[in-house]
């Protein structure tokens, strides 16, 4: 089934063979360097190209607000 979202995208969906999730605690620059070295390392030598790297930051708050649970 072709959805509206699929119709507006020019490229086909890419499904990764696997995904690596690495967690860190607020040391952004050393973390980026580690991940960049890791993705260029021996673990990915069977691939056609080095894997993509995305850095995502989770931000949360423990404040008690009218709309928050607890």
Give, rounded to a whole angstrom, the gap between the first and last alpha carbons of the chain. 41
In a domain, 26, yes or no: yes
Number of domains in the chain: 1
pTM reported for the whole predicted model? 0.49
Q: What pLDDT score does 47 carry?
A: 65
Q: Does residue 34 belong to any structural domain of this protein?
A: yes
Residue 8 in any domain: the answer is: no
| Residue 69 confidence class, pLDDT cut points 50, 70, 90 | low
Q: Is residue 62 part of a domain?
A: no
Q: Residue 39 falls within a domain, yes or no?
A: yes
pLDDT tens by residue, 4-47 = 877 787 777 778 777 888 888 778 888 889 888 888 877 777 76
Given this model, what pLDDT does residue 68 score? 63
- 60 lies in a domain? no
More confident residue, 32 or 61: 32
Range of the domain at 40: 17-46
Degrees, nearest 5: CA angle 37-38-39? 95
């Amino acid at each position: 089934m072709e959805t509206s979202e699929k119709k507006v995208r020019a490229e086909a969906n890419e499904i990764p063979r696997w995904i690596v999730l690495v967690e860190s605690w607020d040391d952004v620059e050393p973390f980026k360097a580690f991940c960049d070295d890791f993705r260029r390392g021996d673990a990915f030598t069977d691939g056609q190209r080095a894997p993509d790297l995305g850095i995502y930051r989770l931000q949360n708050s423990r404040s008690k607000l009218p709309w928050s649970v607890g």
